[in-house]
Amino acid sequence: MITDYYKNIANHVISTRRERLTSGFRAAGRPDHTGADFTDADRLELRQDIYILAFADGVADRAGLGSAASGLGYYIDIRHESGGASYLTRYCHLRGAPVFKAGQAVGRGDVLGIMGKTGNSTGIHLHFGLKEDSVSWDTGVWVDPEPYLFGAKAMGGAALPPAGAIAVGDSVRLTPSAAVYATGQSIPAWVKAGTYTVMQVKADRVLLKEIISWVFERDVTRNGK
C-alpha cells in the first residue's frame, strides 16, 4: 500500500480525492485479480456515501446484479471507443442497482452508483477493471488500470514516450548537477544520494515515488547508466 497514493491520481473513479489502493491488478497471491480495488483513505465510507464515477465517456453495456457465482454484486460495465480503439471499464460491488441501464450514454465523471460491498467483497470498496481491445463485453484483455488512473496511459493511445525517455517504473538517480525540485526548493544532499522509482512523467518533469516529489527529467538518469 502506498501512502499518499491519492495525491497522484489523475482520474478519479470514486468521489474522494483520497483513493486508497487495497489490492492491485494481479496482486501477489491473487493472480486472478483482473482489476484494482479502491476504498477511501480515511474510511469515510463508513460515515458517508462514496459515489462511483465513470472513468470516461461511453455507453453502459451490462448493468445490474451479477450472478452469485460471478461475485460481481451490483455492477456496471461501460464501453468506450476512442481513437479507433475499444475499451471496457467495469465497476463492481455497488451498494444497489447502478444508475444507468444497458444502452444508455454515460459521461466521464457521471455517478454510476454508491460504493458498497455486494457480491464477493469483505468490505466496502470499488473493484475497477479496464479491458483493452474490447469490441464486445466478453472480448478484450484485462490490463492494469493504474497507469490509466495516473494519466500515464490514455484511452485512444496516447503517444508512447520516445525511446530512451524516462518512463513510469524506471529506477533512477539524480545527477550530480541536479539543484532544485520542480517546485523550486533546493534538493538536499541526502536526497541526491538515493535511488528512486518513477511514478509519473509529465512534460519535462517526473514524480519520484519514494519521496513523492517532482524533479526535472533532465536531472535524472536511469540506474545502470
Positions touching Zn ion (CB under 5 A) are 35, 37, 127
For residue 23, CA distances in Å to 27, 31, 44, 145 come to 6, 11, 18, 12
Find the shortest distance in angstroms from Cβ 39 to Zn ion. Answer: 11
For Zn ion, give the closer residue by CB, 134 or 205: 134
Q: What is the number of other CB atoms lying within 10 angstroms of the CB of residue 140? A: 17
Helix (H, G, I), strand (E, B) or coil at 72: coil
Find the shortest distance in angstroms from Cβ 35 to Zn ion. Answer: 5
Find the shortest distance in angstroms from Cβ 143 to Zn ion. Answer: 14
For Zn ion, give the closer residue by CB, 35 or 145: 35
Find the shortest distance in angstroms from Cβ 203 to Zn ion. Answer: 33
Separation of alpha carbons 87 and 89, rounded Å: 7
> Could you tell me which residues come within 8 angstroms of residue 184 by beta carbon, excluding any fewer than 6 positions away?
none
For Zn ion, give the closer residue by CB, 15 or 34: 34
Separation of alpha carbons 104 and 223, rounded Å: 49
Q: Which residue is nearest to Zn ion (CB)?
A: 127
Helix (H, G, I), strand (E, B) or coil at 41: coil
Find the shortest distance in angstroms from Cβ 154 to Zn ion. Answer: 23
